[in-house]
Each structure stands twice: as C-alpha cells, then as structure tokens.
Chains A and B, each alone.
Chain A
C-alpha cells in the first residue's frame, strides 16, 4: 500500500482560516463535506460534469470533485454556506427563493455559486452569457427557466454594483 504521508493544509473557507490534515488522495469536495461538515456542496458524479460540487476557488467557480485537497493550501474557498452574510441572504438566494427557482435543491448551490462568479465578473450579462455561466451545472428538475430569470432579476437590480 505504501506510506500515505498526510499534509497540513491551511486555507480560508467562507472567510474563516481553517487547518486540516489531509491525505494526498483526498479531494476538496470530501474535505469540505466530511472534515469540515460543510455538506452544502454536493457530490453528483465525481467527474466534473454535473456541477453539484461547484465551489468558488479564489473567486472562480470550479468542480471541487476534481481538486485534490492539497491544491487548496493558501487559497480562498467559498461554499454555498458562505454566500449569506451575517444571517442575511445574498440577493441571488432571495431571488431563487421568491421566483420558485428551487425544486429538489440539489443543483441549487452549484447554480448560486456559478451565478455569483458570473455577476462578480460581469455585472450586466446577456441572456446568452447567463446560460453559458450555468452551463456547467446540470438540473433535472427546473428546466432552467426560473433560475435564469432569477439571475437576470438580480443583475438588473444590482445595477453593476458588486454582489
């Protein structure tokens, strides 16, 4: 089997500094879920195709099922749990709630974080850009309609301000 040397990694998760001892094979999604108790990030395929495991890695949306935990040393991770601030829902979360953009909810974290990444980089996206931004998250329930409408609504009300 060989020696499996563990490593200490230090990262910032949702604004908090965190230290974890990880094995080389541990993936970010499993560290978040099993070691840090942040189960909002989901496992859907372990191939980077479904987007349920999406997190923000230094602000950019990535498939955490394909990222060895050791890669996260010194980096900033934002999970779905980090989207709300001081108990206040992020505007994206509010719009999803109000517009019926949530059904089974399994893709919701991936959708919200993909949308956040989009609006952070492009505060006034076109319809096509919104679709493109969430093209990496598969949803089997909603048909994407209300999710797209929710994101559009937020981009319109935010008027270019950073969310």
Chain B
C-alpha cells in the first residue's frame, strides 16, 4: 500500500456487511460458494480485523467458524496429533498433548502476541494469515505436519511444506476451509524447539525465527534426522535443507553446528523493512540456528563433540 498517496483516515466501522456464524462445515462451505470469493472465514480475527481497519482488505461477509465443534478438538489418534483449526492459542498452551508431542509448536504458539490475543487467536487463523513471520509455521514445517482441507468436493490433505505460496498466500481456494492440522508424533529421541528474536522482550513479530527437530541416537550419538525451518527470512517459512544434510549421519559437535548454521544463513532470502535490515536478519539466522542446536547439546545427557 502506498501510504503516502491514498486518503488518510481510519474508521470505527469495518467494511463488511454481514457477520455469519455457522455451526457446521457444510454451512460454511455453502456460504463461501454463495459469496463467490467475497466472504472471508474468521475465527479469532486478530489479524483480519486490524487488516480491514487499515483498508488492506474489503469483503462482503465474515463467516465465523468458531462454533463448529469439529474444528475445536484436540485429539491424538494413531500416532498423529490432530488439532482443529479453531483451537485457540491459549488452549494449545494448556494442552499436555501438544507440549509432549509437538514441543516446538507449543513454544511457537506461546510466543504469539499477548494473553489477550492468545485467548481468541487460533492456530488455523495464524496459518491462513500466512505471514512470513508466523510463529506456527516453522514448527509445522519441521514437524512435517499437514493440513486437512475441506471443500464441497470432499477433503484433501496438503503437507505444510506445500501449503504456502507467498506472503499472505496459501493453496486454499476461495471455497475451501482449513479443517484440521495433523502432526505425526516425532519418533523417539527427537528433540524440537522454536526460537524467536523480536525487537523487545515484550510481544513482537519475529525478526527472525528458527524451529528445529533433531533425532540423535543416544548410544552412538549420531544424528539420524535433522530438520531446520527458518521464519521471517523469506516470502514464506522455509526449510534449510543444505544445512540439514550436514547433520545427518554425523555426530554433533560445536564446529559442525557452526558450519551448519552458516550454511543455513546462505539459504535464506531476507528483506530489509522497518523492523530490521536484511543483513541483520541473515546474521541472526546463524545465531539462532546455533543456539537452537546448542541448547539441545546442553539439555541432553553428557556433551557431544
């Protein structure tokens, strides 16, 4: 938005005309179809309403899906953690299942906003807003989670690795709803974490964030699996695949970690904006990757390398 040239004013009243609360997915899908792309799904509204206020979004109707029971469940079945799209961040933080089975997602969600925001903001909302700085996405990438998308044609599953097309853009069509987030429980001896760097200790969007998943054999100390995801340093969160391959099959050591962090640095494409410069972001990718992995070294029994 060219801030300097458009009319400058803000209004209390947002531009949508209808607020429709639905009780089922079918109802929601029906309405989406009727409005032909001019309706937007809303859950917590913590991103949507401010965007509408700034004039970045104009829709005819908001479809509130927080009343759909299925979207509010957290279940664990067949080795998969399933979180409904309308589950609030607060509920996720209170969930022992999430803490135990998807620690880095738990950590990401706990760093979103303030208690006020977390009490109404939802996992689905954070994902679909698709900010390059979203705190839920790097964790979902390293956990290799997938999205269950509902439409009138049925359901399809899309891994989060393929879910995002660009800043604010997902694969969701205008008549599709993100129903559920599925996360396969990481195998034994996996360690995950999420680190985020903001501009102050208080609530902030991430300047840079990192999620990692490491699986290290406790006997041989060899790393069998390494997944590194970087947030806020590319149009969408990305996996630092080159850095990951350095770990696999090797024993963790400080020098290896430094090398991998440097490699990860080369895989990101940060921009300069009012929050930080590209150069700083690039530097911080290295720092956060190092820290995330070194944290693991410190936490686990004995040292490595």
Residue ranges of A at the interface with B (Cβ–Cβ < 8 Å): 2-5, 24-25, 27, 30, 46-49, 51, 54, 57, 60-63, 66-68, 70-71, 73, 114, 117-118, 132-133, 135-137
Contact = CB atoms under 8 A, between A and B. Distances in A.
Contacts of A70: 19, 21, 64
B207 interface: no
Contacts of A118: 115
A66 B49 contact: yes
A51 B116 contact: yes
Interface in B48-66: 49-50, 53, 60, 62, 64, 66
Interface in B1-58: 10, 12-14, 16-19, 21, 44-46, 49-50, 53
Contact of A25 (B10, B19, B203): B19
B17 A24 contact: yes
Contact of A61 (B14, B62, B116, B202): B116
Given A46-B53, A66-B45, A68-B64, 5 more contacts: A24-B17, A57-B120, A67-B45, A136-B117, A136-B203
Contact of B14 (A25, A60, A133): A25
A135 B114 contact: yes
Interface of B: 10, 12-14, 16-19, 21, 44-46, 49-50, 53, 60, 62, 64, 66, 90, 113-117, 119-120, 202-203
A62 B119 contact: yes
Contact of A62 (B12, B17, B21, B116): B116
A117 to B, nearest CB: 7
B199 to A, nearest CB: 14
A63 B45 CA distance: 11
13 contacts: A24-B17, A27-B12, A47-B50, A47-B53, A51-B114, A51-B116, A62-B120, A63-B117, A68-B45, A71-B64, A114-B115, A117-B115, A118-B115
B120 A67 contact: yes
A136 B14 CA distance: 23
A69 to B, nearest CB: 9
A5 B45 CA distance: 21
Contacts of B17: 2-4, 24-25
